Structure 1
């Protein structure tokens, strides 16, 4: 009788032999479906943004395929594996960031890549988008929550050290994403509002110092352009002005797929990468943007559900931080394209052309699925 009860409990919690194919594959079907819809829609927008370049679309499909494989592999790993390897991955990431500054490969005025023999060129900073929140969650989850002041400070050091190294490359956009990913872990651990207010005050006080001693000329120019794009309409302000023109000209229902003028007449720069949401807004209008945001919102809701139902502090902190990092991608990209934030080179998740960000994001979704599908049986 006891054995039958145990088997019944296992089946009730989806842990028996009849737990279903999705649990066996360690994939979340709801999240998987939403991601597929987003990717397929993104390919249609990319085809238009790339001026009907089918080869670019095919390359993006291949990148998505690689990203899906990475997601599936990460989903198979038990969260305990991520917890165990967090310190080692963090240390390897720091070594990689230092190596970039010393022997890294430069392009377009930035030194962000490593070229190791036998391996393709890669950016160690992309690895840190996953590793920094993983390391912060590992450290804080080892102690009772909420953390003490000293442990909060130690958690911030874990976050700020790679941020500083990435800013030196320079890569302000990636450093912000890495920093926010780690800070969300510290925030979700349960710090007091007094500490939050103190941190905000510290950032406010240090802002003038950053302007004069940390920020480079091109970064200052981006802030000045945000405040007054018309000051240099044919130079630094061109991107924002054309992007806002494309968004506004779309109206309610847009001009129609492949009918956008700003992108196809080459007024809109980077129409297949950072500014691709302007292409969507021009061709599908307010309705198209609203549908995209609704899809993003459903993905975020599902990920937050996974975070809330995680069974340990490490899983909850890590899942919550990865979810909010995905949100920051969306917020920063749409904010900069709309002229509400400075241009920092953050792609629109799973819509913009590019492989590195897609692989990183899908790896994060794989971690979320791992946390959700490796839950232990809870007996009565």
Structure 2
């Protein structure tokens, strides 16, 4: 075991340690205005310790085992996503939390990011490096990803739902998708995006009225400051406007730790979670924000190197899925306060307060460590030895058989 521990990527572990320090100090600063949040930085430290245990524990197990049995993880994740609709409770407009005690909550949508990455790798491994066919591969794989997407949208969690789409796109990209299919997909995304922007700006009042009727008016409050700030209410612009002013006031080196006037006066909400980047930018300025982004770059760069050294098929797919997930969260979280993206409530990876999010991200790093340890092995019986089709393929076969019988 000691030999395997020595093979783990020391640079990644060191970066995680630095992110832990940044997270604990930023959360402490961001909770000074609310006495009820006084111990959140201590809780974060505890979750980080558990996270490092998860990195080592998951890393020591051959990742091919996770891939082999990913369908059962997928089934468990779907059960949890369905269950949360009956026993879950709302937090910040998202009804996706299962309470584990008086002070602990668990968000299945966060866990499903990791499950989805493993399950998509499970599906793509069976394609044996063949180019993905549109009807044979892309559509069925997309359907498997659509099920959790729909369930999370029902929970009113747009941020995590879009994360599934990014993971799917990243995995298909490395899964040997045809160039023409990739171009068609990009065109569809572009047309859909610009069509949405045009429709929203043109029919804003009608859309806002509809969202009010279905109880989703907070969606408009998040989109309005991004697309139509002139029509946004003062309530809708309060968060992003004050966050932007705080970031700008940080200047080059910031105002100093615990000296951020906007953060410490409470003018920026959720400074311990969604808005934690504002704490870093105001109190440590452009330099502090740049150092944080540099740490993300080093982390992702090391993951890319591990993926390039991996000799089997599943490892690179998993790593690209994880990179896609992390890049989406970083870009969405920071971009929302710079006016580049709408505010969706996505946390900043490894920095924001949130036990579920942090532990899932650390578990993903554990998978990366496992690929580092076992990725230099050629294809073995764990994956190639499965001569029988997996359960997902058997289900598709039965559906096709029923269709042909009709």
Shorter-chain TM band = 0.7 to 0.9
| Structural mapping, 1:330-349, within 5 Å | 330-349=330-349
The secondary structure found in structure 1 opposite 2:95 is: strand
Tell me if structure 2 keeps the 8 A contact 1:232–1:238.
no
Q: Following TM superposition, by how much is the alpha carbon of 1:87 offset from its aligned partner in structure 2, in angstroms? A: 0.5
Structure 2: gaps of 5 or more residues: 201-206, 379-406
Determine the structure 2 residue equivalent to 1:283. Answer: 283
Correspondence 1:71 to 2:55: yes
| CA–CA separation in structure 1 for the residues paired with 2:186 and 2:148 | 20
Correspondence 1:60 to 2:49: no
Tell me if structure 2 keeps the 8 A contact 1:185–1:320.
yes
Determine the structure 2 residue equivalent to 1:264. Answer: 264
Determine the structure 2 residue equivalent to 1:147. Answer: 132
Seen in structure 2, the aligned counterparts of structure 1 residues 233 and 129 have a Cα distance that, compared at 3 Å, is same
Deviates more, 1:64-73 or 1:205-214: 205-214
Matched residues, number: 359
Q: Following TM superposition, by how much is the alpha carbon of 1:345 offset from its aligned partner in structure 2, in angstroms? A: 0.6
| CA–CA separation in structure 1 for the residues paired with 2:298 and 2:192 | 37
Please give the per-residue CA displacement for 1:1-51, whole angstroms capped at 9, x wherever unaligned.
xxxxxxxxxxxxxxxxxxx94624663211111111111122222221222
Q: Following TM superposition, by how much is the alpha carbon of 1:305 offset from its aligned partner in structure 2, in angstroms? A: 0.9
The TM-score, its normalising length taken from structure 2, stands at 0.81
Tell me if structure 2 keeps the 8 A contact 1:156–1:186.
no
Correspondence 1:85 to 2:69: yes
Q: 1:170 aligns with which of 149, 153, 156?
A: 156
Determine the structure 2 residue equivalent to 1:309. Answer: 309
| CA–CA separation in structure 2 for the residues paired with 1:280 and 1:123 | 26
Please give the per-residue CA displacement for 1:42-63, whole angstroms capped at 9, x wherever unaligned.
2222221222875221111111
| Structural mapping, 1:1-380, within 5 Å | 21=2, 23-24=4-5, 27-51=8-32, 55-114=39-98, 121-145=105-129, 146-149=131-134, 150-204=136-190, 216-229=216-229, 231-232=231-232, 234-376=234-376
Q: Following TM superposition, by how much is the alpha carbon of 1:277 offset from its aligned partner in structure 2, in angstroms? A: 0.8
Q: Following TM superposition, by how much is the alpha carbon of 1:365 offset from its aligned partner in structure 2, in angstroms? A: 0.2
Please give the per-residue CA displacement for 1:201-254, whole angstroms capped at 9, x wherever unaligned.
434555668976999332133212212445446311001100110011011111
Determine the structure 1 residue equivalent to 2:401. Answer: none
Seen in structure 2, the aligned counterparts of structure 1 residues 204 and 296 have a Cα distance that, compared at 3 Å, is closer
| CA–CA separation in structure 2 for the residues paired with 1:114 and 1:279 | 29
Seen in structure 2, the aligned counterparts of structure 1 residues 271 and 105 have a Cα distance that, compared at 3 Å, is closer
| CA–CA separation in structure 2 for the residues paired with 1:236 and 1:179 | 26
Seen in structure 2, the aligned counterparts of structure 1 residues 24 and 352 have a Cα distance that, compared at 3 Å, is closer
Q: Following TM superposition, by how much is the alpha carbon of 1:358 offset from its aligned partner in structure 2, in angstroms? A: 0.4
Seen in structure 2, the aligned counterparts of structure 1 residues 114 and 44 have a Cα distance that, compared at 3 Å, is closer
| CA–CA separation in structure 2 for the residues paired with 1:326 and 1:202 | 24
Tell me if structure 2 keeps the 8 A contact 1:26–1:374.
no
Structure 1: gaps of 5 or more residues: 1-19
